[in-house]
Homo-oligomer: A and B are copies of this chain.
Amino acid sequence: MHSDPKRLRELPRSLSLRLLGSVPMGRIVFTMNALPAIRPINHVVVDGDVVMRCHGGAALLHAIGQVVAFEADQIDPETRTGWSVIVTGKAERVDDADQAARYRLLLRPRVDLDMVHVVRIRPELVTGYKLIENDENGHDAVA
């Protein structure tokens, strides 16, 4: 998948999910109107799942039922070092009231009536990698 062995070091699944859970925001990738769509969104990682919430009219609702990707990273644009984690899995709406309430609490301990929907991704694929320094050449981040 990542074919520049000099710069990318693959990370184990557990560490990847831990890194993903260590930042407050990532980007969800899905299809909307037959076009690729991406949205920055706050998330938490709970029991290995990626959990977000959104309001009733959000573009993200298009993602429900789709196999989506979710990516978060911390990359220094100068040194081009850091990490990136991508999970792929089906996005589902959490309809169980108790479970949704628990997730909402973890996402932000504040009443916010507009953010009605809780969306969860159960990762099937988890790809994490560390970007390491390259002595001689400045390679462009990842890809």
Q: Which residues of A contact B (CB under 8 A)?
A: 1-4, 23-25, 27-31, 35-42, 52-60, 67-69, 71, 73, 75, 77, 80, 84, 86, 88, 107-108, 110-115, 125, 137-143
Known: A38-B29, A59-B3. A112 touches B88 (CB 8 A): no
Q: Please state if B37 and A4 are interface contacts (CB–CB under 8 Å).
A: no
Minimum Cβ distance to chain B for residue A68 (Å): 6
Number of copies of this kind of chain in the complex: 2
14 residue pairs bridging A and B, Cβ less than 8 Å apart? A23-B77, A25-B75, A25-B77, A29-B29, A30-B36, A36-B36, A36-B67, A41-B142, A52-B143, A55-B139, A59-B143, A108-B138, A110-B137, A114-B137
Known: A4-B57, A24-B77, A55-B4. A35 touches B67 (CB 8 A): yes
Minimum Cβ distance to chain B for residue A142 (Å): 5
Minimum Cβ distance to chain B for residue A116 (Å): 12
